[in-house]
Amino acid sequence: MRQSQLLMTTLRDVPSEAEALSHQWMLRGGYIRQTAAGIYSYMPLGLRVLRKIESVIRQEMDASGGQEMLMPAVQPAELWKESGRYDVYGAELIRLHDRHDREFVLGPTHEEVITSIVRQEISSYRKLPVTLYQIQSKYRDERRPRYGLLRGREFLMKDAYSFDRDWEGLDASYRNMYETYERIFRRCGLDFRAVEADAGAIGGQGETHEFMALADIGEDTVVSCSQCQYAANMERAESAVPEEHTGRDALKTDRSSAIERILTPNVRSVQELTSFLQVDPEQLIKTLIYQVDGENVAVLVRGDREANETKVKSYLSAELAELASAEAVKQATGASVGFAGPVGLKLKVLVDYEVAAMEEGIAGANQEDAHLKGVRPGHDFSVEHIGDFRNVTEGESCPRCGAPLQFHRGIELGHVFKLGTKYSDAMNSMYLDIDGREKPLIMGCYGIGVSRVMAAIAEQCITEERLVWPMSVAPFQVHIIPVSVKDEEQKSLAEQLYGEMIKAGLEPLLDDRDERAGVKFKDADLAGAPLRLIIGRGAASGEVEWMGEDGNKINLSAAEAVQRTREAVARALNG
């Protein structure tokens, strides 16, 4: 394409509203423009990248046996009521009414629609297994849309749904998609990890993995072992279980030992308490009150640890868990936030392994301005509900092999999920099996945030000086830059090379604009073509400067430059 024909308005300054590198560069390069908070327009340059990513995804999905279809964004609320999600989805679900006042939602995902279709289309085992997918705009009314395409409210997603006769079938479909995702992200040039994630309310059946791009801007923490293959997200990552954590399940009511009440006026936080009492945080028992599906529950972790809501939910097979309000804490414990403790508490108490393993500790007294010293787990409070209720910390032991765990920041690119019969049961999606019995379809779902992938790639491909897209998704493969189009020799050599590249099936961008060289190079740094051909004074003798992905430049004859470009493109695309 000729750059004079490309609407690519570049900005010299870093837009002040953009925190993430990818967001800054995509605004500066004229890839995207914000239409509303979290809602973007893709300019011609940006759309080229997006379409390339789509194309990689489509090729791999088709090759793995997926069938593409297209479902509507506007979905009848009835389907969401049928699945039970209409009431629980919360404020992220955009709801609307039509002119007849019927309720609809803007789809954040399509389990309901696909299930309503498949229960009509598939009645027999003979049509199974099948995996259907689409690439389509999704809607989530994020509380805090940010980082450009990384957390948007309207975004492009590839979502796929598999239907199998049984769990063995689902295992195979899931594995197939898992491997397809690995191929997709590898082809997109991403540095990523597949990590175990939590399946939420679906529980044990619901195996799920997230694919995370490693990047500092990432909002998720990827936990991985420095030695073995273990990797999980923070919600899911298992703590190593201390050896002496059990055997105290019954509460011994022998209170001869000295629990000491200490006055701690207005001393609430772990930090305040350690400095007030001159103790280590490991000596404290932190008591957090959660509302779990409407019930108050206490969770105990060591003072130096963070509680993990996902693990709490999972232990209780709950849908929702959130920290109780200050008022609810007061009502449940008799004291304000900061003074809760397990002794005498009339709630279900979940005790983290590490707390259970403590000889004694310091806990809140359930009284204003007071704590208790010498509190002994299993002696002064019950450790009936014992488990892993905390976040792991960097450097602690891998639950598999014991080597130190590492932390990285990650951007969620996609996920694969064994849904099982969650939707089939709720929406009565059955098939007739070979034995003549009606059985629920066994489902899996598989998502990739297409527009987010674009931002994640950018995050990993921006250096101090320039953005270099991987060849597979680059808007243009090679940028041909005559230093001055007023120089006839430069201009005609540039035109000649452009013509030859087109003929060779390459995707060149020719900067045919009458601009200063500095402007052209700055724009080229933003346009992100992996290869560059600079045509300057050497044009007179048919020589050009060729720049590879690594930024190294060499002088070549025009013919060599074309040949080298072809080779570099072929090498990059064929892995």
* CB distance 342 to 350 below 8 Å: no
Nearer to its own copies, 475 or 538 (CB): 475
Binding residue for its own copies, selected from 13, 16, 87, 99, defined by CB under 8 A: 99
Integer-rounded Cα radius of gyration of the chain: 29
What are the angstrom distances between the C-alpha of 206 and each of 167, 171, 209, 432, 462? 11, 11, 10, 24, 37
Residue 166 token pair: 């049984």
231 CB-contact burial (10 Å; exposed 0-12 / middle 13-18 / buried 19+): buried
Q: Smallest gap, in angstroms, from Cβ of residue 386 to its own copies?
A: 39
Nearer to its own copies, 111 or 207 (CB): 111
Residue 136 token pair: 């389509």
* CB distance 398 to 366 below 8 Å: no
Binding residue for its own copies, selected from 80, 104, 290, 339, defined by CB under 8 A: 104
**For residue 559, how far is the Cα from the chain centroid?**
45
Strands 74-76 and 508-510: unpaired
Q: Which residue has the tokens 């801007």?
A: 217
Nearer to its own copies, 47 or 262 (CB): 47
Nearer to its own copies, 111 or 543 (CB): 111
Question: Around 442, how many Cα atoms within 13 Å sit in the side-chain half-sphere?
Answer: 18
Binding residue for its own copies, selected from 7, 266, 435, 575, defined by CB under 8 A: 7
Binding residue for its own copies, selected from 18, 23, 26, 40, defined by CB under 8 A: 40
Binding residue for its own copies, selected from 20, 106, 413, 568, defined by CB under 8 A: 106
Binding residue for its own copies, selected from 15, 19, 41, 395, defined by CB under 8 A: 41
Encoded one letter per residue, x for contact with its own copies by CB under 8 A and - for no contact, window 57-76 reads: --------x-xxxxxxxxxx
The answer to whether 552 contacts its own copies (rule: CB under 8 A) is no
Q: Smallest gap, in angstroms, from Cβ of residue 151 to its own copies?
A: 14
Query: Which residues lie closer than 8 Å to 444 by C-beta, 6 or more apart?
Result: 161, 162, 164, 170, 173, 174, 177, 416, 417, 418, 419
For 87, other C-beta atoms within 10 Å of its C-beta total 9
Nearer to its own copies, 98 or 295 (CB): 98
The answer to whether 43 contacts its own copies (rule: CB under 8 A) is yes
Residue 4 token pair: 């004079």
Nearer to its own copies, 143 or 255 (CB): 143
The answer to whether 555 contacts its own copies (rule: CB under 8 A) is no
Q: Smallest gap, in angstroms, from Cβ of residue 212 to its own copies?
A: 26
**What residues pair up with 194 in beta bridges, in sequence order?**
211
Q: Smallest gap, in angstroms, from Cβ of residue 141 to its own copies?
A: 5
Binding residue for its own copies, selected from 117, 277, 328, 432, defined by CB under 8 A: 117
Q: Which residue has the tokens 């020719």?
A: 510
The answer to whether 42 contacts its own copies (rule: CB under 8 A) is yes
Secondary structure class of 24 (helix, strand, coil): helix
Strands 260-263 and 438-440: unpaired
For its own copies, how many residues bind (rule: CB under 8 A)?
52
Q: Smallest gap, in angstroms, from Cβ of residue 71 to its own copies?
A: 5
Q: Which residue has the tokens 């493969």?
A: 477
Q: Smallest gap, in angstroms, from Cβ of residue 62 to its own copies?
A: 9
Query: Which residues lie closer than 8 Å to 513 by C-beta, 6 or more apart?
Result: 3, 4, 485, 520
The stretch among 37-45, 164-172, 191-199, 283-291 that binds its own copies (CB under 8 A) is 37-45
The answer to whether 5 contacts its own copies (rule: CB under 8 A) is yes
Encoded one letter per residue, x for contact with its own copies by CB under 8 A and - for no contact, window 119-158 reads: -xxx----x--x-x----x-x-x-x---------xx----
Binding residue for its own copies, selected from 14, 63, 96, 540, defined by CB under 8 A: 96
Q: Smallest gap, in angstroms, from Cβ of residue 426 to its own copies?
A: 18
The answer to whether 17 contacts its own copies (rule: CB under 8 A) is no
Nearer to its own copies, 255 or 486 (CB): 486
The stretch among 110-118, 233-241, 244-252, 279-287 that binds its own copies (CB under 8 A) is 110-118
What are the angstrom distances between the C-alpha of 244 and each of 155, 298, 400, 530? 49, 22, 18, 57
Residue 67 token pair: 């069938």
Start-to-end C-alpha separation, the chain: 25
The answer to whether 423 contacts its own copies (rule: CB under 8 A) is no
The answer to whether 365 contacts its own copies (rule: CB under 8 A) is no
The answer to whether 9 contacts its own copies (rule: CB under 8 A) is yes
Q: Smallest gap, in angstroms, from Cβ of residue 181 to its own copies?
A: 21
Query: Which residues lie closer than 8 Å to 413 by C-beta, 6 or more apart?
Result: 185, 190, 192, 211, 212, 213, 448, 449, 452, 453, 456
* CB distance 85 to 112 below 8 Å: yes
- Positions that interact with its own copies (CB under 8 A): 5-7, 9, 30, 33, 35-36, 39-44, 46-47, 50, 65, 67-76, 91-92, 94-96, 98-99, 104, 106, 113, 116-117, 120-122, 127, 130, 132, 137, 139, 141, 143, 153-154
